[in-house]
Structures are given as C-alpha cells and as structure tokens.
Structure 1
Amino acid sequence: MLIKTLLILLALIGLAVPIAASLGWLGLILQWTDSPMPLHRAISDMAWQTSTDFLLVAIPMFVMMGEILLRAGITERMYDGIVKWLGWLPGGLMHSNIGSSALFAATSGSSVATAATIGTVAVPQIKKRGYNERLFLGTVAAGGTLGILIPPSINLILYGLLTNTSVPELYLAGFLPGFLLALLFMATVVVACMIRPEWGGDQLRHSWAERLAALPALIPPLGIFMVVVGSIYAGLATPTEAAALGVVASMALAAFNGKMSMETMRHAIEGTMRTTAMIMLIIIAAVFLNFVLSIIGLTQALTDFVTGLGWSPMQTMLMIVAVLILIGCFMETLSMLLTMAPLVTPIVVALGFDPVWFGILLMVLLETALITPPIGINLYVVQGIRKAGPMMDVIRGALPFVVTMFVMLGLLLVFPKLATWLPSLVY
C-alpha cells in the first residue's frame, strides 16, 4: 500500500499537477481503492475546522510581517552593517550573505523570502568584487534556508500543529541548531577560500569606528525579533498574538523609514493573500490525505512495519533520515512537511525519541531539500535573481552546503541536546 501511495504521488507530481491538487487527488484515489466509506464527504468539515484553528492565524500574520519588512527598506542597511563586521573574513561578502540571512530569517520566518531578499542585494556584488560566482550563489541559496529553522518559523508552527508539539518549545529548540548551522556555513566558506584564495574576491577592511557606526542598521531586525519571540517567552503573548505584534512592529518600522503608504500596504496585503491562500490550500489537502491514510490503516501499518524490523532505534532513525533526504529531492518542502510529519513522527515517538528534537531534525532535512536538485526551490529563486547563466552554476555552488547540512544532521543525531537543552531549562 505504501509503495502504491508513493508511486501515485510521484506520478501526479511528474505530470506537473499542482501540489495541493496532487495531495487531494491522492486522498480521493486511496479512498476509492482502499476505503469502504465515502471519506470525501468529510472534506468540507475538515477544511472548516483546519482553517479556523487559532494557531494557523499566525501564518498570514508572519507572512504579512515579512511582506512589510521587504518594503520597509531595512535590508540594504542591514546588509551593509553586517559587511562591516564580517567582511574581513576569507570570503568577504559571502559571510555577509549568510549572516544577513540568519538575521533576516529571525524576522521573516520564510526561507524563500530570505533567499529572495538577500539575493537581490548581494548578487550584483559578484562581478564588482571578483568573487567565484558559483560559491557566492551557493551562500545565498544556503543562507536562505535558515528561515525554516531560526524562530519565528512558519514550518515549526505547522509541525507543532500536525504533531501536537509545543510551538514555544520548538522555537527554543531551533535557536542553537539554527545559529550553529549558520556558523558551519561560514566555516565552509572559510575552508573553500583558504584552499582557493582567488574565490574570495576583494579583501574588505573596515575600522572599528565604521563597525560601531553600522550597529544602528542591525537594531531594526533585532527589535522585531525581540518583539515576536520575546513576547512569547515573557508570557505576554501566544505565538499567534506574537505574530500580530510583529505585524504592528513592522508597520511602525516602515513608517519610521518613511516607507509606509497605501501603496505599500496594498502590495503587502496582496502578497500575503496569495501566499496564505497557497499555504492553506496545501494544508487542507494534506489534512484530508492524512485523514484518509489514517482511516485505511496505512499510518499504523507503517509504524508496525518499522518497529517490527527489529532494528535499533538509531538504525531506524538513520533509515528515516535517508528516506527523507531522497524524498526531499523530488518534493517541495511545505508539501513534504505536511505529508511526512504525520506519518513519520508517530514512528519516531514509538522508538523513544523526543518529538521536539525530531522537529528540529526534520527542519534541517527540509532545509536540505531547499537546495537539492531537481526540486530545490531556493536554487530557482537564486537563479531567477541572477537572470543569466546556466542553472548548474547555482546547483554546484550549493553542493558544499548540502554536505555541511549532512554534518549538522550528524551532530543532531549524536548530540540531541543541541536541540533539547534550551527547552529543558524553561519547561
């Protein structure tokens, strides 16, 4: 049954059927072939219950916050400020790409928005500063993936909703792995530029006076981060309420920068509606599919099969990681999260692993999927910003960072406290 399910899903994706329709059709097909009950009659009720979940209100709020910040004019100043602090390292602006991505990820919650925003500022510098184009593009694509892991993350909210896991705990668990992964990306650049110094472009030197003068440019994104995440852990707001506070703070920031206008809000609201509609349609289709899989017994059968193999928990976990890496090459990350999390998490919990820890491991796997061909979305985002040149340049530039993500996965498997230490101090 599992093989049939995967084959049908891959066939629908191969036919270029939109992912929400693919998930919905898969649920309908499995209902017709494996269920004696007309499960499709539950779609309207499930769509209503899913759409009115209070936690999901955070999604349009975070999307709108990111849309306003994109138009608030903070990105260029933030990027220039980070250049002053990180530009001296071997690789120069490539470290600024990663550092800016980490900082912007802590406000936008979206990997695609992070890659697009930082890429727009950074890519024109490649020729001007003499960088190796492939590696430079790879830093933009890889840095953008940090939006999934570093709080506030839309994907962590969805994982918490799908698996009944505390979102504040997941946010705490994402801090150390998120910033550690950013440091590992920077270490990858340093190693590459030490081996091939000509890849590092012009050496950048800035005085301490210039660095200190650049600090005010870093305050706005840090301020938004403190409003959103700080309000959660101060006990002042739920994740949904914190997202609304983030929207208010981003509007205030846009007004302070003189970017607040009816035109700005119109574009922000339109972008929010488009993105939210896409996300919600995929969520509703995935919830229906998961309902069908549960009714026909596939979820329980898969759990029984894996736990009945007689493998050790770590051997089973390594198999799960390998399968998810393979699936990530062919499935868009949001769809992968919504489809796989309800299937795999019960197995992981049955093996004795912490669902909070697995949520962070899954986020790193989703990050890997963002830059692995042929469906790595961030690769296409960066190529779209670049506009000219072969796609293979972006793919090859991202490959060293795929290896870095494998290292991060290994660290999480060997040292699970990287994800569980901070939550254990608070909860």
Structure 2
Amino acid sequence: MDVALPMTALVVLICLGMPIAYALGVTGAVGAAMAIGWMPTLGVLQTTPYRTAANFLLSTIPLFILMAELLARSSIVRNLYRMCFLWLGHIRGGLALAAVAASTGFAALAGSSTAAAAAMARISVPEMRRYGYDDRLAVGTVAVAGTLSIMIPPSLGLIIYGVLTETSIGSLFMAGVVPGILTAAGYVTVILLWVKRRPDIAPAAPKPPRAERVASIRPVWPAAVLVGLVLGGIYSGAITATEAAAVGAMGALIIGIGWGGLRRSEFAEALRHTLRSTAMIFAIVIGAMIFGYYLAATRAPQELIDWVGTLPLPAWGILLVIVLIYLVLGFFIDQLAIVILTLPLTFPLVMSLGYDPIWFGIIVTKTTEIGLVTPPLGMNVFVAASASNTRVETGFKGVMPFLIGEFVVLGLLIALPELSLWLPGLIAY
C-alpha cells in the first residue's frame, strides 16, 4: 500500500494535467508521510528545496540555457545555416542536409533542443519552401535535427543525468560526441534515401560561385572559437563544466552583441525564456528529490532489484525492457521529467546488472531524444510547426521516416557500448 497508492496517485495527477513538478512533490510527500510519519516528512519538505537548488552543479543549467537563447536570437545561427546552404544546397535534398549540418553546429553551441528547433524552423523552412521542398521533409528535418542538442554536448539532459547519478559530466559530454555524430549521419542517410525515392519533394537549387561559398565561412568563426573554448576547456580538464557554462554564456553575449546584431529587446527575451526554463527544471528536480525520499523510505529500488534478480531473463533482456519503458514514456511525458522521475529506480537496477553508468546515460538520453519527436507529445514537432506556420500533422508525418534511422542508431549504441565509451576512455588514459 505504501508504494501502490502514491504511485497510482502520481499517474492519475499527471493524466489530469497537473505539472510534473507538483505531482512529484505532492505524491512524494504523501507517500513519505505514509512510510515514516508526518513530522519527519515535514522536516524533509523544510530542507529539501534549498538543499536541492543550492547544488553548485545545477548552476550549469541556467548558464547553458542562457547561452542557447542568446545564440538563437542573434544572427549566428542564420550565418551558420547560410554557410551550410551555400555548400550543400545544390545537392538534391541539400537544403535539408544544410538544416541537419547547421543543427549539428548549433547543438555544439547550446544544450536546448527546443531552442534549436525553433531557431532553425524560422530560418530554414522558408528557404526550403522557396525552392519547392515538401513541407513534410522541411518541418520533419528541422524537428528531428533539433534533438541533436540533447545528445551533442553541452546537453541539458546529460547534465541532469550527471547531477542525479553523481556521474562525471565531463565524461558524459565526451561520451555524447560519437553518438551525436552517428545520429546526424543517420538523418543524412534518411534524407538521401527519401529524396532518391521521391525526387519531387526536394528540387535541386542552383550552385553558387565558389567565392561566395568561401566567404560564407568568415561570419561563423566566432561560433567556432566559442565551441573550442567551452568543449576544449572541459575535455582538457582546464575548467569544470560549470565554469565552461559561464564562459559559454558570456561568450554568447559578446558574440551576439559584437557579431550577431543582438538587440536589447532580444536580450530581454532571452533572459525571460532562460528564467522560465530554469524555474521549470529546478521545480521538477525539487519535486523529484521529495519523491526520491519517499522511494528510499519504502525501499522500493532495493526491492525492485531483488525482484528482477529472480526473473528468468538475462541482463540484456532486462535492459531492453527498461529501454522499451523509456520509449513508451516518451510518448506522453516531457523528456527531462522522465529522466528525473525514473532514475531513482532504473539507475540502481542497471548498475546491479554490471553496466557502465556513462554508457547507460547515453542510452537514456538517446531514448528521451526519440521522445521529442514521437506523437502525441513530440515537443520538437510542435515547436517547429508553430515557428514555421505549419500544421502539426504535417510535422509528425515528416518525422516518421527519421524514426527508422533513430531506432537503427539506438540499436547500434546498445549493441556496441564502445561507440559511447571510446572517447572518454581515450582521453582518460
């Protein structure tokens, strides 16, 4: 009863539309009170919000969000897309390839997938329409390419995972590089196969002069320098992830004002969006910590591990069940909420099976990345469709071919852990 009633209440409250943070906090408090009594629970409620929010590592989150918002509102993203457009646009499907390339570059500058999808939708979809591209390909490409920001560092998803599991954020960032590039390559493959089968959805654009293509590289150099400072500093060990986030936010402000044409109104809008996103994430983390006290009091994670140990399944079979659960949850729940909600149960279980915590972080991040474009929630599809004035149904039709590539890449990452662990191991030694 101590476990079943609060768990059922949590599902009911989420289905009724209560924000995830409040649902976690309310059910966690009630569950803890049932397990240990109201007086100890009141002590938890008194200390948990401050102790959670005062975690130094969490300061990384608002700084990387601010970095993303500042860059999304300057002309840096537009210059990045223009460069990719000039170099790839003459290929059939080249404007979609340019959107993937620009999204990959933007992902290395910011960890917000929705910011990436919104920025690229405003920039690239009108260009694709002008050259006669089908809206399904245009919006689907932008929506799915925006998810690269949750895998390629700096990634908010990897930061949250590192904080909750006490795993090195720097190692997680390094582990995300190869899977991120592999995911982008999967998107490119899907686009090339799609336009080969249906040439009418992506007419080829004229090839620009070589001098114009070369000149397009020049406006992008500040962004390349910023990537080098942020990721190079983390990978070399010269600065921590938190310090790198501060460098990135300040660098984005300097680049936005000096080279990106960032206006005062856009700067204020970036601050508002940063505050809104940060407050939402911190509220979810605090609610999850309260819920975590309830789970610890009931010993639910330990009992789950003991129960799984009695199942007639090999370790890889149990892992596949966990991955399937993450994929199903991604249909209905926000991705960061899934990570925060489930890790207190799944992380100890997976560690008891002998898997690497860094590799599992990449698998969790990849599955939640897929959830960003799957119906009915599919946040990136809603953002891209809204920013480009397209029907949401068209966006979901456009992402369906890309889901095949997503599952292929996910299968490779599960079957070959070396894809995720090679770079962290190389740098560590």
Q: So what's the TM-score if we normalise by structure 1? A: 0.95
CA 1:286–1:122 in structure 2 vs 1: closer, same or farther (change >3 Å)? same
Task: Specify the alignment match of 1:160 in structure 2.
Answer: 162
CA 1:133–1:260 in structure 2 vs 1: closer, same or farther (change >3 Å)? closer
Alignment partner of 1:241 is 2:231: no
Contact 2:91 2:204 (C-alpha < 8 Å) held by counterparts: no
Alignment partners' CA distance in 1, 2:182 and 2:253: 31
Task: Specify the alignment match of 1:312 in structure 2.
Answer: 314
Q: How many residues get paired?
A: 426
> 1:259-274 counterparts in 2 under 5 A?
259-260=261-262, 262-274=264-276
> 1:96-245 counterparts in 2 under 5 A?
96-245=98-247
CA 1:24–1:204 in structure 2 vs 1: closer, same or farther (change >3 Å)? farther
Contact 2:68 2:110 (C-alpha < 8 Å) held by counterparts: yes
State the 1:415 CA deviation: 0.9
Secondary structure in structure 2 of the residue aligned to 1:145: helix
Q: Deviations over 1:273-303 (max 9, x none)?
A: 2221111111111111112112111111222
Q: Which residue, out of 356, 363, 369, partners 2:371?
A: 369
State the 1:269 CA deviation: 2.3
Q: Deviations over 1:9-36 (max 9, x none)?
A: 3321221111211111221232344444
Task: Specify the alignment match of 1:19 in structure 2.
Answer: 20
Task: Specify the alignment match of 2:52 in structure 1.
Answer: 50
Task: Specify the alignment match of 2:324 in structure 1.
Answer: 322
> 1:69-108 counterparts in 2 under 5 A?
69-108=71-110
More deviation, 57-66/255-264 = 255-264
Contact 1:165 1:356 (C-alpha < 8 Å) held by counterparts: yes
Alignment partners' CA distance in 1, 2:260 and 2:79: 14
Q: Which amino acid aligns with 2:412?
A: L
Q: Deviations over 1:281-328 (max 9, x none)?
A: 111111111121121111112222223213111111111111111111
Alignment partners' CA distance in 1, 2:231 and 2:26: 38
Alignment partners' CA distance in 1, 2:261 and 2:42: 47
Contact 1:227 1:249 (C-alpha < 8 Å) held by counterparts: no
CA 1:384–1:327 in structure 2 vs 1: closer, same or farther (change >3 Å)? same
Task: Specify the alignment match of 1:424 in structure 2.
Answer: 425
Alignment partners' CA distance in 1, 2:327 and 2:240: 33
> 1:51-70 counterparts in 2 under 5 A?
51-70=53-72
Task: Specify the alignment match of 2:9 in structure 1.
Answer: 8
Alignment partners' CA distance in 2, 1:314 and 1:413: 9
Contact 1:325 1:365 (C-alpha < 8 Å) held by counterparts: yes
Q: Which amino acid aligns with 1:26?
A: T
Q: Which amino acid aligns with 2:402?
A: F
Secondary structure in structure 2 of the residue aligned to 1:62: helix
Alignment partners' CA distance in 1, 2:409 and 2:260: 41
> 1:343-354 counterparts in 2 under 5 A?
343-354=345-356
Alignment partners' CA distance in 2, 1:393 and 1:345: 37
State the 1:242 CA deviation: 0.7
CA 1:3–1:191 in structure 2 vs 1: closer, same or farther (change >3 Å)? farther
Q: Deviations over 1:77-130 (max 9, x none)?
A: 111101122223331211111111111111111111111111111122243111
Contact 2:69 2:273 (C-alpha < 8 Å) held by counterparts: yes
Alignment partner of 1:342 is 2:371: no
State the 1:202 CA deviation: 3.4
Contact 1:156 1:170 (C-alpha < 8 Å) held by counterparts: yes
Q: So what's the TM-score if we normalise by structure 2? A: 0.95
Task: Specify the alignment match of 1:31 in structure 2.
Answer: 32
Alignment partners' CA distance in 2, 1:196 and 1:293: 52
Q: Which amino acid aligns with 1:73?
A: S
Alignment partner of 1:357 is 2:359: yes
State the 1:209 CA deviation: 2.9
Q: Which amino acid aligns with 2:91?
A: L
CA 1:117–1:261 in structure 2 vs 1: closer, same or farther (change >3 Å)? closer
Q: Which amino acid aligns with 2:104?
A: A
Task: Specify the alignment match of 2:401 in structure 1.
Answer: 400
State the 1:252 CA deviation: 1.6
Q: Which amino acid aligns with 2:61?
A: I
Alignment partners' CA distance in 2, 1:128 and 1:257: 27
CA 1:263–1:137 in structure 2 vs 1: closer, same or farther (change >3 Å)? closer
Contact 1:329 1:372 (C-alpha < 8 Å) held by counterparts: yes
Q: Which amino acid aligns with 1:203?
A: A
Q: How large is the Cα RMSD of the aligned pairs?
A: 1.8
Q: Which residue, out of 291, 294, 297, partners 1:295?
A: 297
Secondary structure in structure 1 of the residue aligned to 2:91: coil
Task: Specify the alignment match of 2:414 in structure 1.
Answer: 413
State the 1:191 CA deviation: 0.5
Q: Which amino acid aligns with 1:74?
A: I
Alignment partners' CA distance in 1, 2:83 and 2:7: 47
More deviation, 29-38/70-79 = 29-38
Alignment partners' CA distance in 2, 1:395 and 1:69: 27
Alignment partners' CA distance in 2, 1:374 and 1:275: 22
Alignment partners' CA distance in 1, 2:20 and 2:238: 37
Alignment partners' CA distance in 1, 2:208 and 2:333: 43
Alignment partner of 1:281 is 2:283: yes
